[in-house]
Amino acid sequence: MTALILQTLNQSLRTRATLAASALAFLDAIALCVLSHAEHLRSVRPSAIINAYLLLTVPFDIARIRTLWLNGHTNNVAAAFSSGFAVKLMILVAEAVEKRPILLDRYRHSSPEFTSGLYSRSFFWWLNKLMTTGFRRVLTNEDLYPIDFDMSSEYLADVATKDWESSNQAKQRAIVWSVMWSVRWTFLSAVFPRLCLIGFRYTRPFLLARTVEFAASPDQPKAVGWGLTAAFGLVFLGEAVSSGYYYHMKYRFITKLRGVLVALIYAKTVDLSITALDESIAVTLMASDTGVSLVWFCLP
């Protein structure tokens, strides 16, 4: 609010665009407070939306504060923005802290993946305890983390049965669409990380071409080299994080897909009459390869 007032009083900064940007930033701060309170009460993990928003806006705030300080006529506005930036950094750290010590008893013993925030899941820090235990001794069943509820057999069987019964079973490949509908959110959660991974990989040739051009021209300033170094660091870091997210969501999707198929095949096996099958035809109802089972299940 102080930065908005100071920017309004400063003639060099008072434009239609800057005033609108400052007003929207003030509204964002109010919305952030409301969202933080709601996430604190209704979510067992740190807010991914708040952490992502704060993390993405930090570099832009740094560039803005640097510009204000370099302009000698806006020191008071720069000081206000610097104070607000310091508060944003404290909020960023506070929002990243996990809530496991203050959770209710029914959530306190959940998997660390279920209660981890954006940074822990991006760098797989929630696996550190399991890795340390496995380094010290042989892992047992008690050492493994509990499975998420949405990946349990009971939940997958219930969802798959409801979706299959509510679908048009006379439609061609009805089982395929029913199964995909049951795991649609897990499938969609892998799309965005994959797009990010493709984008980061496409930036490599452009960075390499610019690096070769910079190396072939010794008269270019050193700031260009430092900028290329930072760009390479961001690209490789983004590629690593997006790749980890993509493969994590991919294997969760495969696990859920197999769970749904096994549940449907089991239900079909229970309902089949042994006299309804031709004894001369060997039919595999259950197999470790659920792809074969899906092919059989799609047959009329």
- Where along the chain do its domains lie? 1-97, 105-146, 149-300
pLDDT above 90: percentage of residues in the chain = 20
Q: How far apart are the first and last CA of the chain?
A: 67
Q: Are the C-beta atoms of 13 and 7 separated by less than 8 Å? A: yes
Tokens 């203050």 correspond to: 102
Q: Which of 36, 140, 158 is nearest to 97 (CA)?
A: 36
What span, in angstroms and rounded, lies between the C-alpha atoms of 46 and 97? 7
What is the SS3 string spanning 91-156?
HHHHHHCCCHHHCCHHHHCCCHHHHCCHHHHHCCHHHHHHHHHHHHCCCCHHHCCCCCHHHCHHHH
pTM of the model: 0.77
Residue with more model confidence, 185 or 15: 185
pLDDT digits (tens, 9 = 90+) for 160-219: 889 888 888 888 888 888 888 999 999 999 999 999 999 999 999 999 999 999 888 888
Other CB atoms within 10 A of residue 182 CB? 26
Mean per-residue pLDDT of the chain: 81
pLDDT digits (tens, 9 = 90+) for 32-54: 889 888 888 888 888 888 888 88
